[in-house]
Amino acid sequence: MPSENTRPARARSAEEKNQRRDDILRAAERLWTTTTYAELSMNQVAREAKLAKGTLYLYFDTKEELFLALLTEHLQAWIGRTSDLLIERQPRTPQQVTDVLLDSAEALTPLRRLLVLLGTVLERNVRPELGLEFRRELDAQLRRLVQHMPYSPPVTLRLLRHLYALAIGWQQFKESLPGLDVQTGQPREELPGEYRAEFELALRGVVEQLAAQDARANAV
């Protein structure tokens, strides 16, 4: 393992640089499963990735920049998967649209946790131009979803905003307010499928209401 005084072989080709960047992101992601964001340091990431600390800073200036890149990666993966499901299934009813959104969100706890960080930590601490670039790229990516949804663009964008709010809201609730067992007074264990059931209940209501509004607007 290199020390901070050891200069590792510099990545020369674009492929080598992309691989090293990916190694850094995977190292940060592994650490984040057992370490809180506040406690996680760039030194830890460098050690986990088996890189000198100085090499790490060739790719990311700050921890916030690193995690914003990680969030971008997860968002792009979700948008790509959701777009593929929309193209494949071509949903038309509110139930079908909700099913696609639920299926595309399976096993996305890392993305939800990163979204919680977005507004509270990441965008407030990265360079303004980097935050603006992130928002522009996200807007371009979301347009891929808009064109495949069975609703008008304004309604689809409203739906995506509600989806975002529900995702981070339920994730925060899950992490900070687990609830108390009325018998023991101790934090209760989350029941299998409980998060999905409550999230699905809220999402189905939102989709049905927005779909009805869109239908009424188109009928005028």
CATH label of the domain that carries residue 25: 1.10.10.60
Average pLDDT over residues 187-203: 73
pLDDT at 188 over 60: no
User: Does 4 share its domain with 21?
Assistant: yes
Average pLDDT over residues 52-81: 94
Residue 171 is predicted with a pLDDT of 83
Which of the four pLDDT bands, split at 50, 70 and 90, describes residue 183? low
C-beta of residue 37 within 8 angstroms of C-beta of residue 46: no
User: Does 56 share its domain with 157?
Assistant: no
Residue 180 is predicted with a pLDDT of 55
Residue 69's SS3 state is helix
Residue ending a domain, among 60, 83, 108, is 60
Which of the four pLDDT bands, split at 50, 70 and 90, describes residue 3? very low
Domain count, the chain: 2
User: Does 149 share its domain with 50?
Assistant: no
Residue 193 is predicted with a pLDDT of 62
Residue 1 is predicted with a pLDDT of 42
User: Does 176 share its domain with 119?
Assistant: yes
Average pLDDT over residues 152-181: 83
Residue ranges making up the domain that contains 172: 62-219
- Residue-wise pLDDT for 130-147, tens only, equals 999 999 998 888 888 899
User: Does 182 share its domain with 194?
Assistant: yes
Phi, psi of 50 (to 5 degrees): 60, 45
User: Does 74 share its domain with 115?
Assistant: yes
C-beta of residue 167 within 8 angstroms of C-beta of residue 74: no
Q: Residue 180's beta-bridge partner residues?
A: 187
Residues 6+ apart with CB under 8 A from 27: 45, 48, 49
35-72 CB burial, b ≥16 within 10 A, e <16: eebeebebeebbbbbebbbebbeebbeebbbbbbbbbb
User: Does 107 share its domain with 185?
Assistant: yes
User: Does 53 share its domain with 84?
Assistant: no
User: Does 141 share its domain with 212?
Assistant: yes
- Residue-wise pLDDT for 6-54, tens only, equals 444 565 788 989 999 999 999 999 999 889 999 999 999 999 999 998 9
- Mean confidence (pLDDT) of the chain: 87
User: Does 125 share its domain with 159?
Assistant: yes
CA proximity to 178, closest of 193, 191, 197: 191
User: Does 93 share its domain with 141?
Assistant: yes
Residue 154 is predicted with a pLDDT of 94
Query: Per mean pLDDT, which range of 12-16, 177-181, 195-199 is the poorest?
Result: 177-181
User: Does 126 share its domain with 173?
Assistant: yes
